[in-house]
Amino acid sequence: MSRVMPYQPQWIREDFVDFMAEKINPLWAWKKVKAKLVNIEMLSADFYQLELQPNNHFNAKAFLAGQSLLVTVQIAGVHQQRHYSIVKITETGNIVIAVKRQGLLSNALTRLALGSVLEVSQTQGDFNLDDGSTALLLLASGSGITAIYALLQQALKQNTAPIDLLYFSRDHAFDAALAQLAQQHPQFQYHYFNTIAQPQHLTLALLEAIVPDFQQRASYACGAVGMMHSIQEIYQQLGISARLKQEYFQVPVDESAEAQSVVFLRAQQQFSASTNLLSSAEHAGLRPAHGCRMGICNSCSCIKISGSTKNLLTGEIDHHSNTPIKLCISQAVSPVVINL
């Protein structure tokens, strides 16, 4: 005969403690990392740098250049979340991020009043320097410069080997700061392409002309889908993909793939998926848990019971049953059943 465990009430609830604590100080919380907006600086017409002062729960010492954090803001009563790369952690422990004014959350963030309090996560991600002593090639486009700029600052502190940065952008965000770093550090060469004044795409010929030894360097890329697709294709053709590390802020989709039937088993919901599984589910009116939308956090992790999915970051096809996947970076390439 099984023994029934008596009900044990939870005498102290975290949400109640947080509710009472924030009445005294908006930054106080039992476990949550909260941060106050203490400064906003315009980098370009639609690109802003925000400085956040976190509470004592934030572990600034754990930060590695290239990492990001999840920012949560309540908009019209709904909690919206997105990852932002960290530009730097200041000497006082404040967090500096850069936000391009596009999309619901980013627009809201850049319009917050100084003193506003928001929720953030601990630092996340593995887009970090593997070895600080080797020659580097850094590639960035658009707001991807944020993560690359952080890597560059770290590399210049520990690296005397050559570093080249190719930056494709429609504005001048970080341009002056990067040009100044190039003047201060002789091992750093900065190559800026204003894609409005000088239309330029990343090509093998361009790489060979600017950085002739790029095939021997450790390479790091972050940016828009077009540039990321180009660099991935070039490195695959040359057989040097192992030298390339990438960080996406927009997950590429295989647009040539046919739409597939997807079943959320526990919810008893079926829908057609032509893009990543998270976006396809949302388009069908479903609301699965999610966070970063870039494969960094594990908020949308679930078990694929059957079917085949493609990892949109690595290109890997998973045919196995009962395997974990992340909805935001997975695309169905056959009918799929998911334990949701």
| Beta strands at 163-169 and 188-194: parallel, antiparallel or unpaired | parallel
Q: Which two tokens stand for residue 45?
A: 């017409």
Angle at 90 between CA 89 and CA 96, to 5 degrees: 55
Q: Which two tokens stand for residue 290?
A: 């999610």
H-helix or E-strand spanning residue 304: strand 301-306
> How far is residue 38's CA from residue 93's CA, in Å, rounded to a whole number?
12
CATH H-level, domain 14-120: superfamily = Translation factors (2.40.30.10)
pLDDT in tens, the chain (340 residues): 445 555 455 555 666 555 555 656 666 666 788 999 999 999 988 899 999 999 989 999 999 999 999 898 888 887 788 889 999 999 999 999 999 888 888 999 999 999 999 999 999 888 999 876 789 999 999 889 999 999 999 999 987 899 999 999 988 889 999 999 999 999 999 999 988 877 778 999 999 999 999 999 999 999 987 888 899 899 999 999 999 999 876 566 666 778 899 999 988 999 999 888 988 898 888 888 887 777 777 788 999 998 899 888 777 888 888 899 999 889 998 999 999 9
Output the pLDDT for position 1: 45
Output the pLDDT for position 2: 47
> How far is residue 253's CA from residue 195's CA, in Å, rounded to a whole number?
24
Orientation of helix 145-158 relative to helix 175-184, angle to 10°: 20
Output the pLDDT for position 21: 54
CATH H-level, domain 260-338: superfamily = Beta-grasp domain (3.10.20.30)
| CATH code for the domain defined by 136-248 | 3.40.50.80
Q: DSSP class of residue 142?
A: G
Q: What are phi and psi of 288, to 5 degrees?
A: -70, 150
Domain boundaries, the chain: 14-120, 136-248, 260-338
> How far is residue 73's CA from residue 82's CA, in Å, rounded to a whole number?
9
> How far is residue 50's CA from residue 98's CA, in Å, rounded to a whole number?
6
